[in-house]
Structure 1
Amino acid sequence: MNWVMQNSSFIGQLFLNHTVLIVPPLIVAFICAVLVGALGAQYPRVQEIIGGACQLLYTIPSLPLLVITPIFLGVSITSPVTVMVALGLYAVALLVRTSIDAFASVDNTHLQSAETLGYGPWRITFGVRCVLALPVLMAGLRVATMSTVSLASIGALVGVSSLGTLLTDGFQRSLTVEVVTGIIAIVAMALLCDAILRFATKLLTPWAERLPQ
């Protein structure tokens, strides 16, 4: 406990660094996944191709991806951009599958009703499909967020500052309290993110709780 109190500012900075690493990739990945799901609703063949590519992408180990990414981006391997891009790719790979399932789960009755009211194809997609698919999309985002919070710590292995730094530094110095602090901090961030997303889901989809199960 004394070590934690003495290094509270350092831990706080790492917490902030970790947050900066995960938020932009998750936002971009969520938007991309929704667009792919919407596109797939109109063009099933495109959905199959992109879905298959995302499944293949998620099979790439994280460390090789962190090494390969800077080569294509032209940045240093220790740049936060390297980790953010890698995290974004993994998040997209997870969310696209969920997005496809979310759009496929929408009852056709609602779509036919919207068509009867004069909605065009894209208005039906974004005004009806997206809204009705949102609960499943948010559930997928929660899963992707847990994965991203965990994966972001791997960036410490290539010199990118995050909560994972507490793990690598603690192991190097055989400082158990630092390692335990890192584990607790990562779990705490994951739980905090999940609580925020759960709250956001209730705000965005208050009607979902009234649907028959």
Structure 2
Amino acid sequence: MNLLSEIVDYLQINGDDVREALVQHLYLALVPVVIAFVLSLPLGWAVVRYGWVRHPVLTLSSIVYTIPSLALLLLLPGILHTSILDRNNVVVALTIYSLALLVRSTADGLRSVDAGVVASATAMGYRPVRRWFAVDLPLSLPVVLAGLRVATVTNVSLVSIAALIGIGGLGQLFTRGFQLNFYAPPIVIGLVLSVAIALVLDVLIVLAQRLLTPWSRIGVSR
């Protein structure tokens, strides 16, 4: 109860700062995922459509994902000619990581579409672009959105590291707690909010998948 009262007191005094950190965290976590998701669709299509693209793109995505996030955040200001405190550095870094994950899941999803279904759609007069949006992409969504869930939850976690270079987000609460000799309330608040964000976003993506792919639920019920 003592810790709970300390948390309540901390929120009463620092409530505005916590809300601001929460909004910053959501922005830094979600914007890169949205950008990466949009970019992953044509890249995933190219990986499936052109065999020679597959190996270099997937190999590069694997290599990129092994780069330590803090090292990338420190390198980007020099590459982009921006201030180290510029939030765009975090957006670019997390977009790179998200894209590395989503290109592979998008390619896997498109490859999972039954060739017979594609042939039937083509025989019915679907041109490539129309078929891609009406058949290929919808049928690949379960795999694509599974990758999106992983990328989103990963981003929520990675944003906290940005606090080490002075950029906002819930990671500020962790560093503040450490600076105050492991003062528990800000650390607990930051941890609870980070987990809550990850859970809520994951549930929203699952609900979106159920809404966009009703046929998958029919298949499961059988």
Query: Which TM-score band (shorter chain)?
Result: over 0.9
Q: For 2:142, what is the secondary structure of its paired residue?
A: helix
> 1:31-66 CA distances to partner (integer Å, 9 max, x unpaired)?
111111112221121122111110110010111100
Matched, 1:195 2:203: yes
Distance in 2 between residues matched to 1:7 and 1:184, nearest whole Å? 16
Matched, 1:177 2:185: yes
**TM-score with structure 1 setting the length:** 0.95
Distance in 2 between residues matched to 1:79 and 1:72, nearest whole Å? 13
Indicate the residue corresponding to 2:18 in structure 1: 11
Distance in 1 between residues matched to 2:66 and 2:170, nearest whole Å? 24
Q: Find the partner of 1:74 among 77, 81, 85.
A: 81
Matched, 1:58 2:65: yes
Q: For 2:113, what is the secondary structure of its paired residue?
A: coil
Matched, 1:186 2:199: no
Deviation at 1:198, TM superposition (A): 1.4
Identity fraction in percent = 38
What amino acid sits opposite 1:210 in the alignment? I
Q: For 2:168, what is the secondary structure of its paired residue?
A: coil
Q: Find the partner of 1:84 among 85, 88, 91.
A: 91
Indicate the residue corresponding to 2:217 in structure 1: 209
Distance in 1 between residues matched to 2:208 and 2:178, nearest whole Å? 37
Gap regions ≥5 residues in structure 2: 1-7
What amino acid sits opposite 2:170 in the alignment? L
Q: For 2:144, what is the secondary structure of its paired residue?
A: helix
Gap regions ≥5 residues in structure 1: none
Indicate the residue corresponding to 2:151 in structure 1: 144
Q: Find the partner of 1:20 among 27, 33, 38.
A: 27
What amino acid sits opposite 1:203 in the alignment? L
Q: For 1:118, what is the secondary structure of its paired residue?
A: coil
Deviation at 1:122, TM superposition (A): 3.2
Indicate the residue corresponding to 2:171 in structure 1: 164
Matched, 1:129 2:136: yes
Deviates most, 107-116 or 173-182: 173-182
Distance in 2 between residues matched to 1:56 and 1:104, nearest whole Å? 22
Deviates most, 73-82 or 197-206: 197-206
Deviates most, 189-198 or 164-173: 189-198
How many residues are aligned here?
A: 213
C-alpha RMSD of the superposition: 1.3
